Structure formats: C-alpha cells, structure tokens
Amino acid sequence: MNSQRPVNLDLRTIKLPITAYTSILHRISGVILFVGIAILLFGLDKSLTSEEGFAQVKECLTSPLAKFVIWGLLSALLYHLVAGVRHLIMDMGIGETLEGGKLGSQIVIAVSAVVIVLLGVWIW
C-alpha cells in the first residue's frame, strides 16, 4: 500500500457531481419527512381529542412560523416524490448512463424548484 497517496478529508474542497447532491438531498428529505410525520401526528391527535385541542391546533397553524414549517415539510415531500420518480424511471432502465444520470438530476432539481415555489405561493 502506498502511504504517499494524497488524502483529501476537507469536505469543503471536494467537488461532488450533481448526482451526488440529488442523492444526498433525497436522503435528507426522507429524514425530514420521518420527523415531520411525528409532529403532524401529534397535531392530529391533539385536534381530535377535544374541541379546545382543535381550536389550539387551528390557531397554531395560522402563524407565519407554522406556515413556514408546513412549507418546509411539503417541500421535502415534493422533492422526495420527484427524486423517487426518477429512481423508479432508472429502475426501468432509462437514464442509467452517466449522461442520463446527470440529466435526470438536473431535471429533478429544476422540477422540484418550480413545484416548491408554486407550493410557497399557494400556502401564502
């Protein structure tokens, strides 16, 4: 083993391809959805326990911070959905080449950005 080999452990200087960014974002959006579902289930439980609980949840959801959190959760859901569809298409054998993967990643980012902006307009 050659110990003179250069080792780059500074993550800020590593240039990742676009496919790596879409894969990392897909995993992050999955984690956000996992945590977000727990928060939303807590709110659903609270709203179904009593009329006062429903009023509290309704009042909480009208705040700008709650709208921002909901927008974030729905953005993660939409990104995860678009990236998941890309994975399903790749499972069918379409876009498995290096060029196809790069194009698919660019399409995922573009479609997700447009849908997330439209979602923000709809929420506010």
Annotated binding site for heme: 80
Could you identify the residue written with the tokens 């790069």? 102
Give ∠ CA 92-97-103 in degrees, rounded to 5.
90
What's the Rg (C-alpha) of the chain?
A: 20
Cβ contact 75:116 at 8 Å: yes
Query: CA–CA distance from 72 to each of 65, 76, 104 (Å)?
Result: 10, 6, 23
As annotated, the binding site includes: 80
| 3 state SS of 5 | coil
